[in-house]
Amino acid sequence: MLDARLQFIDPHATPAADGARPSRHEAEAAIRTLIRWAGDTPSRAGLLDTPARVARAYEEWFGGYAIDPDALLERDFESAGYDDIVLLRDIPVRSMCEHHMAAIRGVAHVAYLPGERVVGISKLARLVDAYARRLQIQERLTCEIADTLHRVLKPRGVAVVVKATHECIGSRGIAMHGVGMVTKRLLGQFERDPWRSELLASLRA
């Protein structure tokens, strides 16, 4: 099933840059190596199925590589005269930091100012998820969501705000739980007033 879903390879992700994609068998062997390196014994009963489980979990956490984000926005509709802000708030962000492969958790707010066309709101949430479920830094995640929506839908403006906490600073290193990071990208008419102020007011509301 996974291989079928992996037909799309994101040009920015270069997943095959270090060689062909390893087999599931190789992935599970790598997890056994990590278990041993952590200090445990992969052959003990409780860990026997763990490599397979972790591989399946990786298919979910990194399922974004199999999704073509542009294709998510293919089906659009006439905006029917609506010309004000469309804002989808509090879209869950479940990502992985590319430095430590640790969880990034938070929300994204995605807004656009329609031109001729609008998209189904679920597609905005799917777009966030497609880029989140990859190895990321928050800045790139924010830009990729905004730039794709801007390029494909061609609205008058796009704004993306991501608010997230990073497990890599919450549970290791500086170990400061609850520190939040906020990133935003404003494009087109959101770069200037009056829409910039309108947007920021909508986000505060």
Ligand X SMILES: Nc1nc2c(ncn2[C@@H]2O[C@H](COP(=O)(O)OP(=O)(O)OP(=O)(O)O)[C@@H](O)[C@H]2O)c(=O)[nH]1
User: Which residues form the interface with Zn ion (CB under 5 A)?
Assistant: 97, 99-100, 168
Q: What is the DSSP string of 15-83?
A: TTTTSSPPPHHHHHHHHHHHHHHHT--TTSGGGTTHHHHHHHHHHHHTGGGG--HHHHT--EEE-TT--
Residue 152 or 169 having the CB closest to ligand X: 169
Minimum CB–partner distance for residue 62 and ligand X (Å): 16
Respond yes or no: is residue 143 known to be catalytic. no
Selection from ligand X, Zn ion, none that 169 binds (CB < 5 to 8 A by kind) is ligand X
Selection from ligand X, Zn ion, none that 173 binds (CB < 5 to 8 A by kind) is ligand X
Minimum CB–partner distance for residue 172 and ligand X (Å): 7
Strand partners, 35: none
Respond yes or no: is residue 136 known to be catalytic. no
Retrieve residue 87's tokens.
């804002």
Residue closest to 6 by CA, chosen among 30, 18, 22: 22
Distance (Å, whole) CA 191 – CA 15 = 34
Give residues in contact with ligand X (CB under 6 A).
Answer: 97, 99, 137-139, 166, 168-169, 173-174
In the annotated binding site for Zn(2+), the residues are: 97, 100, 168
Catalytic residues, by residue number, are 97-100, 138, 166, 168
